[in-house]
Amino acid sequence: MRLAVFTPLFSGLSLSQTLAKLRDLGISSVELGTGNYPGAAHCPLTMLDDDLAREDFQRTLAEYGTNLCALSCHGNALHPDPARARAAREVSRKTILLAEKLGVPTVVDFSGCPGGSPNDITPNWVTCAWPPDYQEILTWQWEQAVAPYWREHAQFAADHGVRIAIEMHPGFVVYSPETLLRLRQIAGPAVGANLDPSHLFWQNIDPIAAIRVLGDAIHHVHAKDTQLYPANLPRTGVLDTQPYTAERTRGWLFRTVGYGHGAEWWKEFVSTLRMHGYDGPVSIEHEDSLLSAEEGLTKAADFLNGLLPREPPGQAWWV
């Protein structure tokens, strides 16, 4: 395994400045945003048609001894506003083409969330099975919006030698291992999971158990933690819509790795990943409102550098 960083937290810095910071932390792998929600501060899609810009970009990575492990374009390609859907789809397709040219195997994205009918203008995320209207919405979403787009888009990615890692995130149709596997059954093996434990913790899904459910469907991994606050949960529940900066009253918060769960938990997490065939990048994503980007990343890197397995497992000489 290797430690990586998803770099939007340093969007105010140049690529060179960002890579220099990461090198000082002993990190030599990056996941870069190309647009949509993450922005494209360090990897603009204009490089797609600019050979000189790509060569300069790759020289910069080489100068700092940095490997590019993934491109990320989290967006809503199923948005019921046609203009917004087209924009997200264009970024996603161009990201796949750029990944192919750069030799990057993985593109991280969201599944998207459509409206509840052809007439909606805003996304409709269904969170319960009843009243029966919700089953009708889910049927329409998956059959009329999700399946047609993802069959075509997954084939496009496969044709260009790229796999798509879907981040299971509430607010989108894929938010759990069950919904991820449903999409994978529709779209094929080019689609898998970006396993971010922080989004599972607050849904009361055990991320380590989720690894066993997903198996070889895991294409990428984010390192981000979540802390639950039992004093607030009886009032808010887990579907807490307060701003993330309402730290005192929220039922849960995203935290820097190690601030929600300790080393024992994270050691089991990475060990179970390896047990089930994942030995790729573990990419730190900082979204902790209680720590600065600089301090949060430093603490996460120090924490994970001490427990992430680096070498391939040895032979079981004792058996």
The CATH number that applies at residue 184 is 3.20.20.150
Range of the domain at 246: 2-305
Confidence of residue 19 (pLDDT cuts 50, 70, 90): very high
273 three-state secondary structure: helix
User: Positive or negative CA dihedral for 162, 72, 299, 271?
Assistant: negative
Which residue type occupies 136? E
168 neighbors 179 (Cβ within 8 angstroms): yes
Instruction: Supply 75's token pair.
Output: 């967006």
Residue 313 resides in a domain: no
Does residue 222 surpass a pLDDT of 90? Answer: yes
- Does a structural domain hold residue 20? yes
Quote the mean pLDDT of the chain.
97
Average pLDDT for 18-45 = 97
The residues that bridge with 29 in the sheet, in sequence order, are 67
Counted domains in the chain: 1
Q: Three-state DSSP class for 226?
A: strand
pLDDT of 268 above 90: yes
Mean pLDDT of 199-227: 98
Q: What share of the chain in percent tops pLDDT 90? A: 98
C-alpha–C-alpha distance, residues 291 and 209, integer Å: 29
Residue 136 lies in a domain: yes
* Average pLDDT of the residues in 156-175: 98
Specify if 316 maps to a domain.
no
pLDDT in the model for residue 319: 87
Average pLDDT over residues 158-174: 98
Residue carrying structure tokens 């492990």 = 69
Q: For residue 319, is it within any domain?
A: no
Residue carrying the six token digits 């601030």:
259
Range 282-292 average pLDDT:
98
Instruction: Please tell me which residue, 316 or 151, carries the higher pLDDT value.
Output: 151
* More confident site: 63 or 314: 63
Q: What is the pLDDT of residues 37-48, one digit of tens each?
A: 999 999 999 999
Gap between the Cα atoms of 6 and 303, Å rounded = 16
Q: What is the pTM of this model?
A: 0.97
In a domain, residue 64? The reply is yes
The answer on pLDDT for 201 being more than 90 is: yes
In a domain, 258, yes or no: yes
